[in-house]
Chains A and B, each alone.
Chain A
Amino acid sequence: MSKKQIKLEARDINAYYGDFHALKGINVAMEEKTVTAFIGPSGCGKSTFLRIFNRMNDYIDGFKTEGEILLDGENIYAKNVLVDELRKRVGMVFQKPNPFPKSIYENVVYGLKIQGMSNKAALAEAAEKALHQAALWNEVKDNLNKSALALSGGQQQRLCIARALAISPSVLLMDEPASALDPISTAKIEELIHQLKEQYTIVIVTHNMQQAGRVSDTTAFFYMGELVEHAKTKTIFTNPKDKRTEDYITGRFG
């Protein structure tokens, strides 16, 4: 692999929902400005692992994490870390679109407003830029004050992407961002991921093998809470080391 800096690193991550051992001893490193795809059968822990990186699991009763996540070399689970500051650096797009019950514009600028930005012109400019990036601008530019809940599912998801991009995080976590989208919007999102790679480190969960093949540099295969294999995407798809990986990508289970 190239000599890029390590952006995100998981060290001996174990996670539990109560007694259920959801993630088992995971070690993985992701270089900056790359796209990593998480694949694996339903329920194997992809979403759980993704949420580890911005500590969204903190809100689940009975959830417990062991191990370290290093973001730029610093452990985000250290005692003195402020989670809200962490999340300004690590953005997230959820599996189901979850726009706020406000206008399209308010959705996009929310992240900036809570950081104290109040200049109207600057906010409007940032909103336009983010909506362009998320390939939504042309569809909504004439009714930015319309309720976000009135958008279609695919549009809502792109709005959520725009919302996450507006605060310029350095890492973007995406949990099946295209599962609710039609092929055209999906293509737009994939195109977007290609462009975002210039600035962002991206982790994307996907059930779509072709998508993983198209957008990612490396792919991690999870199975029953374990990280089975993490390698260059091409390697995973053409020459997997583990029998389970091979079975999965050739569609023998999952």
Chain B
Amino acid sequence: MTNSTRNRIKDKAFQVFGIFCMLIGLVFLAALLINILSEGLARIDWDFLTSLPSRRASRSGILTAWAGTLWILVLTSLIAFPLGISAGVYLEEYTKKTKMASFLEINIANLAGVPSIIYGLLGLEIFVRQMGMGSSLLAGAMTLSLLVLPIVIVTTRESLKAVPQTVRQGSFALGATKWQTTWLQVLPAAFGGILTGVIMSLSRAVGEAAPLVVVGALAYVPFVPSSPNDEFTVLPIQIFNWTSRPQAEFLVNAAAAIIMLLLITFLLNGIAVYLRNKQQKKIKW
């Protein structure tokens, strides 16, 4: 066998292996989706979306859960985005490229990989206990903010890095200050990328149950939260709660709630992809 035929065989073999790996992933995902849809789709109706939770599965709804999820999404955005984007801008545009800066950079990337339950414990100690917020929406949102902050910072920096240095130079050469250059040129040029990143980070936050359970989110909340100080539940916790019940009807409820959660996640990711494509069309370097 010549060298080149051997290489071609290797090439083919790897392709087949790659397709196989991809199929495994797809098959499981498809199985999951089909299973969930067949079980839960029929359960979704107006009543299900607008009813409070109940001891009886057939009367139980997800109103408080998705209202809680929505609250958490909004509060987390309000807290994490300004903080994370500012930190990213500071690190990328203002700090000198020192050893300290690269040490920080590595550790922020590491933080993005810390298990979410650790953030829950941190939130429990600091926000719930020390700062006396109790198991409120605010405490939950702040905990999730900690969780997504590293992702927001990292994607902000990546997006800023993608803006060519020549844009900054052009702005400086016209007498712009650092502040003007950052606000009027660099951030707008990086906006699409940053937005994509922060929305992706939200879709991560929306699926989290563990840190919120630790913070003390309740499985049974018989009212729709009306202020950030209220107690709350979210979809993932509601799902977890229902799946651990013995009655089959609750499993159907869980499947239906999972569909709603997936819908929210797909929606967020869809928006992110849409914004990215739109930005790419507008700015071709």
Contact = CB atoms under 8 A, between A and B. Distances in A.
Nearest to B165: A59
Interface residues of B, number: 23
B189 interface: yes
Interface residues of A, number: 30
A98 B169 contact: yes
Interface string B171-188: 111111100100011001
B184 A160 contact: no
B180 A61 contact: no
Given A98-B166, A100-B167, A114-B180, A56 B282 contact: no
A169 to B, nearest CB: 9
A236 to B, nearest CB: 28
Contacts of B284: 149
Nearest to A55: B172
Given A98-B167, A149-B283, A149-B285, A56 B172 contact: yes
Contacts, number: 74
Nearest to B167: A100
Q: Is the interface of B mostly helix, strand, loop or mixed?
A: helix
B184 A56 contact: no
Interface of B: 97, 164, 166-177, 180, 184-185, 188-189, 282-285
21 contacts: A59-B168, A84-B172, A87-B173, A88-B174, A91-B173, A92-B173, A98-B164, A98-B169, A98-B170, A99-B170, A100-B171, A101-B282, A102-B188, A110-B171, A110-B174, A110-B176, A110-B184, A111-B175, A113-B184, A149-B284, A160-B170
Interface of A: 54, 56, 59, 61, 83-88, 91-92, 94, 96, 98-102, 110-111, 113-115, 147, 149, 160, 163-164, 167
Given A61-B97, A163-B170, 18 more contacts: A54-B173, A59-B172, A84-B172, A84-B177, A85-B175, A88-B174, A94-B166, A94-B169, A94-B173, A96-B166, A100-B185, A100-B189, A101-B167, A110-B171, A110-B174, A110-B176, A114-B176, A164-B173
